[in-house]
Structure 1
Amino acid sequence: MKKLAHRLYFGTRHLYVSFHSTVAMLRFVGFVDLMVLRIAELTVRNRRSSHLIIATAGRGNIGDQALLESAVQHAPHSKIHILVDQHDDLTLPQVTSPRTARFVAAPRLVARLPYLRLLGVWRAGREIGRACQIDVIGADIMDGSYSRRDSVIRLQLVRFATQRGRRVRILGFSWSECPDQYTLSLMRALQDNVSLLPRDPRSAERLRHLGVTTRPPTADIVFTLATGGSDARSRLRLPEDYIIFNASGLASREHRVGCEYHESLRRLLDADRNVVLLPHVLRRGDDDAEVARNLYDQFSSPRLVLVTDQLSPSGVEDVARGAVGGLASRMHLAIFLLRNGVAPLSLASHGKVEGLLEMFDISHRVLYPQDSFGAVAGAQLLDSMQQAADDRVVQARLPEVQRLARNNFGA
């Protein structure tokens, strides 16, 4: 009986979510949003007085925090407003006077029930009215592959902003091989009025193949991030010559790769290598920290260090700076390793990692979750000669990739 109730609950929930993400429902939501946005925008007095950044979700994702800090550092105006769901989703980046930055909460902007979204849509409309320029942090949520609803609602905000004459850029985003078709239609409609800035050559080529015009080549905006000083390595008492090991809670849930992580880690510890278990996303549902804790408990080796804190981007940078190799199941952890001249092994996810490593000519370091990668990953991480050769390639390519990343802010 309990199992039947469980199946009925999740079956009903799936139907509910699916209904509220249908094209017909999203078109209706877009129509209602447009009316609310217009009325809200008309109530604004200080028009075109701020720079608006529409942030990603945050909520324990260190990569989202790094993206936000990069966007704030390069905002061209002194008054910066950041649209978030809740004030505690992200940490407000520090800015120096006379620049100011503040969060504006637009609660439940992507909620499924329209009446729950009204306050969030209203506040978004007012912020668009105040903005002279808008930057949307694109990341991996623009093609509908994770959530059609999230992508469409963001693009509907962009469409309204362009109708009101605002300059809009969608910064550094990925585009998968199988995008949502309704999301694609909105992107095509916006291409003439918005700076579309895909963050790797594969994404750009996929968009061109689908008839979407993009701006000059770019890279992920985190390659432009200026990080402050951090003592994370000394505070965490990390050993010398360690390998970063990042196991993804999302990959573990979706692809059941726990055995592969176990095999890779076993090989490293059997070879007497120091390993740092470093979570990059710490939140319910796809928690890296939970997977890391399970691995730590299985081995209990003196050569194994478990990081339990949610580090700042500067802290992750400091830990990456001391690494001699790494398995990065999260894209932005791979970027922090690349920023420090270390060639990572990286787990493929929705087509975004392949393009990243292709920019550094190290495509052979992509791992695929559907494969049995545990033994292969362990062997590659232990191959110091190949690691040194790949590190040299990364270090040679890094200045060009950083130059491409700066194109996001010159568009």
Structure 2
Amino acid sequence: MISTVNNFHTFKPDRTYGCQMNISDTEIAWSILQKAGYSRTHELPEADVVLLVTCSIREKAEQTIWNRLKHLTALKKRCQKHKPLLKIGVLGCMAERLKTKLLEQEKLVDVLAGPDAYRDLPRLLSLGYRGQRASNVLLSLEETYADVMPVHQTPEGHSAFVSIMRGCDNMCSYCIVPFTRGRERSRPLSSILEEVRMLSDQGVKEVTLLGQNVNSYRDFSEQHFICSEGSTQLSRGFKTVYRTKQGGLLFSDLLDKVSQIDPDMRIRFTSPHPKDFPDEVLQLIQERRNICKQIHLPAQSGSSRVLHAMRRGYTREAYLDLVENIREIIPGVNLSSDFITGFCGETEEDHQETLSLVREVGYNVGFLFAYSMRKV
């Protein structure tokens, strides 16, 4: 939320919805606004701009945000006399997916900023103060906010998120992320290492590396990275929908360097894709005591037929082979997974195959979701 105080602005995002990346995006937006002369407030009555960082991954998440927007719009009307500057802004994936409906049809918001447009927030808010509805939902092939040092929400905390890449190229048939977050692009290694060192100096004891497809990280920021001979490293039996990528500094290289900054700082990463777990990554996890022996391995289904319809790039058998390989290289590893039930065309037999996969693998943690049917 933002309020005017002596010609400066104070702000406090109203809500952050969705994944860990949205928490990171909130911290990036805070940093950008702070440099533009804003500071935060924790009190709604003080605010003249309310910002929601939004999620579009499922219809339920969007419905929650619609309800919140209606509440804030009613509040805005009640406060019109003594709070004429009150504006409502929507940031993130829902701004990208529903821009026309939010801004022109429902007219519930004054400012929209997509995931790649946070640098433009000061300009957009300035237009909002002048009575205009303002938006920037352009996706970028390059934006990683590498030069923006996030303002962490709990600076005294012992854990922090560090964004290392943005976007996704996998194009799973059920997923909206490539359309709301754009193509994959990776943050330069030097920028990531600088942030992790800063967090270590601040006493942070655990860092989680973030990305929509975190283990497909590939840095082309320096010439010798571009000229390297490495090609896409896939788990055995897995394939991609895109052309094999060449060159660049890989996720295994990044993980190696991050883990050496502070031997007492625990390192985690999320969210990965099972296709991007070559032996080099697994062996590094086993060798480094500060890389947590926990791997998130989203299966989504235990049926090869459904996996094909989802465009996941692997079969049930390939997934189980990967699980076996992981446990062979990292004894005692903890595994977690995501599952979607009720996907288009899924039969009872398909569902039973998913249940049998859960029993066979014996996950430590599972995240279970009903397929979300909605209008495009």
Q: Under TM normalisation by the shorter chain, which class is it?
A: 0.3 to 0.5
Higher strand share: 2
The alignment's TM-score, normalised by the length of structure 1, stands at 0.30
The alignment's TM-score, normalised by the length of structure 2, stands at 0.32
Higher relative contact order (CA 8 A, sep 6+): 1
